[in-house]
Amino acid sequence: MVARRFQRDPERPDRDDVVGRLRLRRDGEVARSKGEVRDDEASERSANEDRVWVERARCGDHSAFEKLVEKYQERAVWIARGLISDPEIARDVAQESFLRVYRSLDRYDPAHRFYTWFYRIVVHLAIDALRRRRRVVPWKLTGTPHGEFEYREVAGRAPSLVETRERVRRILERVPPKYRMLIVLRDFEGFTSKEIADIADWNHATVRWRLHRARQLFREEWESAGYSVEL
C-alpha cells in the first residue's frame, strides 16, 4: 500500500531551485528568499486533519494513510535530499520512513503534530543512510569520482544558478550531519525553531545555539572555498 516509488510531479516547480535562491548574509546566516507567511489557523486545521487520518489508518483505513503519503511524500524526499545529495537514496529514505510510520501508528501521540514525528523519522533515517554511504564511498574534499572539482571563483564571471546550486550542495556536504540537518530544516524548508525542537527532540535553546553554529560552519566552509560572501 505504501510500497511505491515516489516520482516528481512534472507540474510542480523544481525544488532544486530553492537552493539556487539561497543567499549568504554578511552576518553569516544562510537564508531563503522571502516566502509565504505561515498561517497558524490553517496549520492547526492541517494538524487536526492529520490526527483524523492517523486514527482512521489505525482502524485499518488504508485510504487515510494514502492521504498522509500524498500530503508529505514530496517534502520528505526533499528533506532527505538536503542531507543526502543522491536523489535515489533520498527517495528510498522517504519510502522507508512511511513504512516505519505505518508500522508504528499505535505509538503516535496525538498531543503532538504528526509531521514533527514523521520528519524526525525521515531525518534519523537520512543521517543513518549518509553514514553508511560514507563508509562505502569516502568523501574527498579535493575531488569527485568524475575528476577534480575546483572550488575557486573564476575572476570576472558571476556564477550561474546551476553553479551556485552545486556550490551550496558541495559546501553543505562538508558540514557535519547534525548541523547540516538544521540548515536544511530551517533555511531550506522554513521550519520554525520550535518545530525543529520537536523534530530533533531538543530544547529550544539547544536548537538556537546549534543553528547559529551550523550557519557559522557553513560560512567558514564557503569562504575557505574562495567564494564571495554575497550569492
- Across all residues in the chain, what is the average pLDDT? 79
Q: Is the pLDDT of residue 230 over 60?
A: no
Q: Which residue has the cell 510510520?
A: 101
Q: Is the pLDDT of residue 15 over 50?
A: no
d(CA 87, CA 90): 5
Query: Residue range 205-211: average pLDDT?
Result: 96
**pLDDT (tens digit per residue) in 162-185:** 788 888 889 999 999 999 999 999
**pLDDT (tens digit per residue) in 130-163:** 888 765 444 333 333 333 333 344 444 566 777 8
pLDDT of residue 68: 98
**Percent of the chain residues past pLDDT 90, beyond the cut:** 60
**pLDDT (tens digit per residue) in 27-41:** 333 334 333 335 678
**Percent of the chain residues past pLDDT 70, beyond the cut:** 71
d(CA 97, CA 6): 12
The values of phi and psi at residue 104, to 5°, are: -120, 20
Please give the domain boundaries of the chain with CATH numbers for all domains: 40-138 (1.10.1740.10), 140-231 (1.10.10.10)
User: Residue 210, by phi and psi: left (phi above 0), alpha (psi -120 to 50) or beta?
Assistant: alpha
Nearest C-alpha neighbor of 76 from the set 135, 36, 120: 120
| 85 vs 119, more confident | 119
- C-alpha cell belonging to residue 116: 514533527
Q: Which residue has the cell 497558524?
A: 40
pLDDT of residue 228: 72
Q: Is the pLDDT of residue 22 over 80?
A: no
